[in-house]
Amino acid sequence: MNIKKIKRAIISVSDKSNLKIILPILKKFNIEIISSGKTYKKIRNMKYNCVEVSNYTGFSEMLDGRVKTLHPKIHAGILNIRKNKEHKKDLKKKNIHNIDLVIVDLYKFEKQLRGKIKIEKLIEYIDIGGPALIRSAAKNFNDVTIISNISDYSLLTKELKINKGSTSINFRKYMSAKAFGLTAYYDSVISNYFNNQLNIKFPEKKTIHGKLIEHLRYGENPHQKAYLYSDHNNFGLTKLHGKDLGYNNYNDIFSALSILESFNKNIGSVIIKHANPCGVSAEINQFISFKNALACDPISAFGGVIAINSVIKEKLALELNKYFFEIIMSKGFSKKALKILKRRKKIILINCNKFSFKNINNYLFLENGFLAQDSNNILINKKIKIVSKKKPSLNQLNSLKFAFNICKFAKSNAIVLVNNKSTIGIGAGQPSRLDSCKIASYKAMQFVPEKIIDSVAASDAFFPFTDGIEELIKVGVNAIIQPGGSINDKKVISAANKAGVIMAFTGTRHFKH
């Protein structure tokens, strides 16, 4: 079972709030405590015996506290292999005693980072002695116990009680794994900070860090486990009502949030199904915006995620309760609206008012590797070029921009039909662009045929042939926006001119796979 008796511990922590949990159990089993600085003073003030590190090592702290525990008497006491005879001889020569328990946390670099302090002060929060102690103890888990998280104090107390002042090998291994995870996370935060400072987006060595935030209901399917990680303690999302979220829920939520982020404040409604928009409106009036978004594809909207870019009021809440949505997300809910929506026991209600995107990089994990790219933060990186004979009105141009923006968030190949500030048909995720044109046209004809005349269309990439635009023109589209760049551009423009349709090129592609 490999039980190890603890005779001596070193404690050095920034967060001293829970020392009261572990000090009594250490005293009960006559475990000697070594500590330094403010931790030493705190333990003494709590009326527990403690030896100061400088007295233990015979070496005073120096360099404003930068060097405290970095001493052979400390690290040799931790790192020696207890069964190794040569190690025992080395320790006996230097009069060094074993240290069996290390309780350490790290300077709050990440917390200070969010406070946006100057780099000269920030670097003083890069811990050196702490990670060294943690890694030494974690490496020697066969003989030493490492506690690197305040939340594990109660586990240590329980372990010591069960084993009468000792710890088991399984406990030490578990704590070692947690400790190495902490130091890896800590170094990753620091590394990424300096890379960001130097605008190095894709360094030679890349680490991605995250804290476990939530155990999800399940993954993409019920037989898959799933967890949520973040480099923040939360996402700025507050669940107000309903069951726990799953993997697919979060995927849909972030698809909706990415579209809301592209809208002006307090404007817009988005309906998402399987990470694709199935209805979007940027009408100013909250109620009309929702109704227009729903009208685009009410069948696909069933069981989807609805995101409102404003505080939901009573009138909209009453209307929302007429339909089945799995999640309703908004920038807040009035008291009456919240009461109305909570009548649906299974509905998930989320306040996203405090959420914001950092928009740095996107990652796609591929077994033992991952892809990294810039976030797609550009709508059009060149001036829109009108390539047709017919020119758009200001209203048409605004509608084209809106349609092209929604295209950016739909899976490729993507075609989006728009009337004014609302989608009326979306075709997405098809291997053929022609099929996406047919689906978008079919949806519009099925649900809002009265709005298809004089509508506009957007494509996330160029039309390789004329068949796609011909399909759109056939149902009544009178303006089309696309990146351009096909070898058949001239034929496509010619077909648009022949039909008297406006054609705009952006020079910017928006594939989303």
Enter the DSSP assignment of 465.
Answer: S
| Strand partners for 145 | 101
Q: Give me the helices (H) in 408-466, please.
A: 433-447
51 C-beta neighbours (distance < 10 Å), count: 17
Q: Which of 41, 178, 211, 274 is catalytic?
A: 274
Which residue among 16, 139, 239, 342 is the active-site one?
139
Per DSSP, the three-state class of 327 is: strand
Q: Tell me the two tokens of residue 480.
A: 């089309």
Distance (Å, rounded) from C-alpha 46 to C-alpha 17?
Answer: 12
Q: Is 139 a catalytic residue?
A: yes
Residue recorded with tokens 């309780």: 103
162 CB-side CA count, 13 A: 11
Contact 263, 405 (CB under 8 A): no
Alpha-carbon distance of 192 to 207, in angstroms, equals 8
Active-site residue 85, yes or no? no
Secondary structure, 3-state, 228-286? EEECCCCCCCEEEECCCCCHHHHHHHHHHHHHHCCCCCCCCEEEEECCEEEEEECCCCH
Contacts of 309 (CB under 8 A, 6+ apart): 260, 263, 265, 266, 267, 268, 269, 270, 330, 331
Contact 125, 106 (CB under 8 A): no
List the structure tokens of 490: 């001239």
Torsion of CA 17, 18, 22, 24, to 10 degrees: 70
- 216-239 as b/e: b if 16+ CB within 10 A: beeeeeeeeebebeeeeeebebee
Catalytic residues: 139, 274
